[in-house]
Structure 1
Amino acid sequence: MADNVRQSLDRVRTVLTRNRLRVAFVALILLSVAVVASASSGGISTASEDDVPDAPPTENHTVVTESGRAGTITAYAPDGDVTYYNNTRTKYFDVDPVEGDPLTVEYTATDTIHTEGPTCRSPPCALNVIERADLETGEVEVVYERYDHKETAGEWHDADRINETHVVVADIVADQVFIVNTETEIVEWLWDAQSDFPLDGGGPYPGDWAHVNDVEYIESGEMDGRIMVSLRNQDQVVFLDRDEGLLDEWTLGAEDDYDVQYEQHNPDYIPESEGGPAVVVADSENGRIQEFQREDGEWNRTWLWEDDQIQWPRDADRLPNGNTLITDTHGNRVMEVNESGDIVWEVGSTLPYEAERLETGAESEGGQSAAALGLESRTEADSGGGGGGGDGSSIEFNPLEFLGEQLESFLPHRIYNALLFATPIWMGKTEFAAIGVALLTGLTWTGLEIRWQLRDAGVRFRLPVYREGK
């Protein structure tokens, strides 16, 4: 039997000569390079106004912000044409219409400061601003600004207007929520996350501990005058009373309870007048949109939406027409899904952060809860293909796509999202697989070349334990 094995190995060595192996390695590497090169030549880019894709027609204006490599704010007219574009700031985040003038918006943005100077002695630093932009005239006005000492976790992702003079701000830098009078620039109320949450939870302190990424001032119902806050790194949506502080019994989620939510973004509160209390939330690291209804003093999940393309959603608003506007950052799209869960409007975007449908009020007030609308959940298995398309009738096997899917399923969702965030926009699971194949091929080839050179030089290696033939 040993002789048969030896003869088989000899036949393999005869076929797999060094030159044939080299040709195979070169072919694999060139194929991988071709896949990556093909992907890099296409894809979505919003780095300049000329590259921004038009959107399908819809009834109202739509504003989309981006906070990735290209910070932009783009407004689409109802006919789908780009009617406003700005990339002056490094990053753009939350955007809301100004009451009484739906075509003027107020948003938070951040400028990264890379040069040492009077506002930044140890670059990079951040300039955080609340600005107003008239989408018709293009005029931009700074409402309030503050310099901060760092760039990483150094932004204001959200601000919500309370009245003509006061706004509430989600301050990631200091892990705080504060109310400021934008006329006097005096901070009149402040809540510090450290007063209610331990430092041994959440993210690393003092780097990016709580990541307060959203605030919403509630204007009606039982929670009138309270503030809803998203603590991303604690996996919780909490409610604050300006006199009592944290309202523990209203907290949605718990730290590391990923079945409920996992590093969520931009919860949208639905009051009793619209079938609430309910919260629509982008469950980012779980790759889904959820809604929770307040029933008998508890939060119960009443709606879930996902398809097989959704990757890292960071905003969801229930529209007055019953549809839901969703921002899918790593899916590179903003979309509207109807009450049946089908995508009825979609536009590509590089790394969108938030979308707002104007002429429907801030955070699309007037949108009803899933319970009131009778919405049925839709899961990936129900979607029938990315973006709601495809009938699944054709069967094609792509080895690199298959390997990419295995890589995506193997890596923790948070790690895979981090790879997507750190790599070029055109990188996806197929491209990751191609690069992995090229690297593995290169390492294998290098190892064999070294082994061959040593063998030619008369250097032999034996296992420390081997069986001596008779």
Structure 2
Amino acid sequence: MASVRSVLRAIFAVCLLLSGGVVASGYVAHSPADTAPAGNVTGSDAENRSLSELPPSSLTVVTTGSNRPRAESANGSRAEAEVVLYDRNGSIRYYNDTYDSYWDVDLLSKASGPRTVEYVASERLNASACESVGDDAAESGDGSEADGSTEDEKDGCVRTVIERLNLSTGATRTIHAARSPRADVTPWTDVDRINDTHYVIADRAENRVFVLNVRTNTITWEWYAASTFTFDSGGYYLEDWTHLNDVEYLEGGRIMASVRNHDQIVFLDPEHNRTILYEPYGPDYILRENGGPALLVADAGNNRVVEYARRDGSWNRTWQWSGPALRWPRDADRLPNGRTLVVDSNGDRVLEVNSTGTAVWNVSVGLPYDAERLGTGSASAAGPSAERIAARSEEMGDRDRTDQEEGRASDERAAGPLSSTAKGLLSGSVLSAALYVSPAWMGFVELLALCVLFLVSTVWFLAELRWRSVVAELREWAEEAERR
């Protein structure tokens, strides 16, 4: 009996040492340089030139979120949300971290200037702050209040704004602001400008898409997901039924929306065609004159970027780029030169991939949400389809791994069947959620090792308790036998 326990204790100890070593090596390997902008060249010609001298197509604006708990401080690359402008060398040309989270960012028309953007941002407020801030409460056609709140805000609220930013001067102007009574949900994360006065908004708090006149603060059109989807659909999302995360106004008046928790993209009025994806983010519509109709989608739950072309009345997948280095992509734009700008949220980076699947540019930034390349048109409006440029589908995405990612890939191969089996058991959403709340240095292998560390520690602790109980029982039995 004692020899069996000794063997088990030795096995437990080896498992703890190995798993602890993997976690520690992952932490040590993630040096501070890994969170700095990649390709940041000190004293380069680009750095010595003013922002106005740089061509807009050499500048990329990125918005990021934050995993900082409300009203608490935090450290690390994901502690603060920001809107930041990078040049081709990865140097920062503009930075602002006023709000708790920055979401969608869109380029404005050339008439507004090549360096003017609009973004959605939000801030969480405590109850007293909620009472002091106002909002532009939009009213529907019947005069009822559509934004703002009449509910109890004792737990705080979220204030969401649409702001216009001149990146050259740093001047900002609030286009619209709204307050939500739920402190745990940001109601809007994406809007699309229709004209000077009207915006189409994806409202995930109310599970709807609506058109808002920001000048009169009235809703001129709205669509509720409940008119199309049943309440037993949407998966296990009791308080986030649709998670409407993207909306785009198309030519001809159609509206495209991403209903993430239903794994669908819908076209609203006049078309109602749908294509099923797994947790889609940020779909972009590629025009017919550029090789479309086609949809470029960041398929976050499957850790890939895909493109679907409309052919013979159905949507067919024509291109894919993915790999172990890609972790929860939430936006992808096809640039006019045929390259694809990808926002890799859990990978803490934004990268540019050419038609062969090779990453030709990247910057490291904590928890990015959206990105736009200045001077290239909004999203993928000026980009060609994958079929037109004969883009190669890169299933593994191994061309874009950095040296550190190569090391992690080697660790995954070394883990062998265990790693593959664990990945198979975890759905994309579960794994993405785990990586989202984990530190930036922790990849899948480190996360798996941490789980093993916790599991083995728990089993060993329970085993020791059981063994001590058995020993105590044997002693009592022996003492009782002696007394007899």
- What is aligned with 2:266? 238
TM superposition score normalised by structure 2: 0.79
- What is aligned with 1:430? 445
The alpha-carbon deviation at position 198 of structure 1 amounts to 1.6
User: Contact 2:100 / 2:122 at 8 angstroms: preserved in 1?
Assistant: yes
Q: Secondary structure at the match of 1:440?
A: helix
For residues 131-177 of structure 1, give each alpha carbon's deviation from its aligned partner in whole angstroms, at most 9, with x where no partner exists: 11111221221110110111334331211111112111111111111
Root mean square deviation of aligned Cα: 3.4
Q: Are 2:455 and 1:440 equivalent residues in the alignment?
A: yes
The alpha-carbon deviation at position 457 of structure 1 amounts to 3.2
Summarize the alignment of residues 222-233 of structure 1 with structure 2, pairs less than 5 Å apart.
224-233=252-261
Q: Are 2:194 and 1:162 equivalent residues in the alignment?
A: yes
Q: Are 2:294 and 1:278 equivalent residues in the alignment?
A: yes
Q: Are 2:331 and 1:291 equivalent residues in the alignment?
A: no
Q: Are 2:217 and 1:185 equivalent residues in the alignment?
A: yes
Amino acid at match of 1:251: R
Q: 1:30 to 1:387 in 2, by over 3 A?
A: closer
The alpha-carbon deviation at position 55 of structure 1 amounts to 5.4
CA distance in 2, matches of 1:213, 1:112: 19
Q: Secondary structure at the match of 1:366?
A: coil
User: Contact 2:40 / 2:90 at 8 angstroms: preserved in 1?
Assistant: yes
Summarize the alignment of residues 404-415 of structure 1 with structure 2, pairs less than 5 Å apart.
404=419, 406-415=421-430
Q: Are 2:469 and 1:454 equivalent residues in the alignment?
A: yes
For residues 7-48 of structure 1, give each alpha carbon's deviation from its aligned partner in whole angstroms, at most 9, with x where no partner exists: xx88x5597597x78976875576366346536765755xxx
Summarize the alignment of residues 213-228 of structure 1 with structure 2, pairs less than 5 Å apart.
213-219=245-251, 224-228=252-256
- What is aligned with 2:343? 327
Runs of 5+ in structure 2 lacking a partner?
47-54, 68-79, 134-151, 478-484
Q: Are 2:327 and 1:311 equivalent residues in the alignment?
A: yes
CA distance in 1, matches of 2:258, 2:409: 42
Summarize the alignment of residues 53-452 of structure 1 with structure 2, pairs less than 5 Å apart.
59-69=57-67, 70-100=80-110, 101-116=113-128, 117-118=130-131, 121-203=153-235, 207-219=239-251, 224-241=252-269, 244=270, 247-248=271-272, 250-253=273-276, 261-380=277-396, 383-384=397-398, 387=401, 402=416, 404=419, 406-452=421-467
CA distance in 2, matches of 1:313, 1:355: 11
Q: Which moved more, 1:352-361 or 1:201-210?
A: 201-210
Q: 1:146 to 1:367 in 2, by over 3 A?
A: same
Amino acid at match of 1:270: I
CA distance in 1, matches of 2:409, 2:329: 29
TM superposition score normalised by structure 1: 0.81
- What is aligned with 2:149? none
Runs of 5+ in structure 1 lacking a partner?
1-8, 46-50, 254-260, 463-470
Q: 1:291 to 1:388 in 2, by over 3 A?
A: farther
CA distance in 1, matches of 2:345, 2:64: 9
Q: Are 2:21 and 1:31 equivalent residues in the alignment?
A: yes
CA distance in 2, matches of 1:367, 1:154: 30
CA distance in 1, matches of 2:356, 2:346: 24
Q: 1:268 to 1:429 in 2, by over 3 A?
A: same
CA distance in 1, matches of 2:403, 2:20: 32
Q: Percent identity?
A: 38
The alpha-carbon deviation at position 376 of structure 1 amounts to 2.5
Q: 1:310 to 1:393 in 2, by over 3 A?
A: closer
Q: 1:108 to 1:460 in 2, by over 3 A?
A: farther
User: Contact 1:39 / 1:431 at 8 angstroms: preserved in 2?
Assistant: no
Between the two proteins, the alignment pairs up a number of residues equal to 429
